[in-house]
Amino acid sequence: MTGPGSSAPGKHALYSASEKRAMACTVECSACREETRVSYIELAALMFPVHFHLPLVKYHHSWFRCPSCGKRTWLRIHIDR
């Protein structure tokens, strides 16, 4: 049992802000609706060998493999999160 002076890791994890990693971005999937943080190296691997980018056509404007569900679908990349 934890006392008032000790830190509860579950409660701390629940109420703390997510850690921002340097050289990382968030990928939002249109199929599974998940948001996944990936590094730029992981992003390049997900886009290999084929990807499309149509910035003026859709909200999810990039087509490549989702890191969460593994499907090739339309995704949106958030750089500044």
- Which among 30, 26, 55 has a CA at the least distance from the CA of 40? 26
Q: Which residues of the chain have pLDDT under 70?
A: 1-21, 80-81
Is pTM beyond 0.85? Reply is no
What confidence score (pLDDT) does residue 15 get?
Answer: 44
Residue 28 CB partners (closer than 8 Å, separation 6+): 34, 35, 60, 75, 76, 77, 78
What confidence score (pLDDT) does residue 14 get?
Answer: 44
What confidence score (pLDDT) does residue 77 get?
Answer: 92
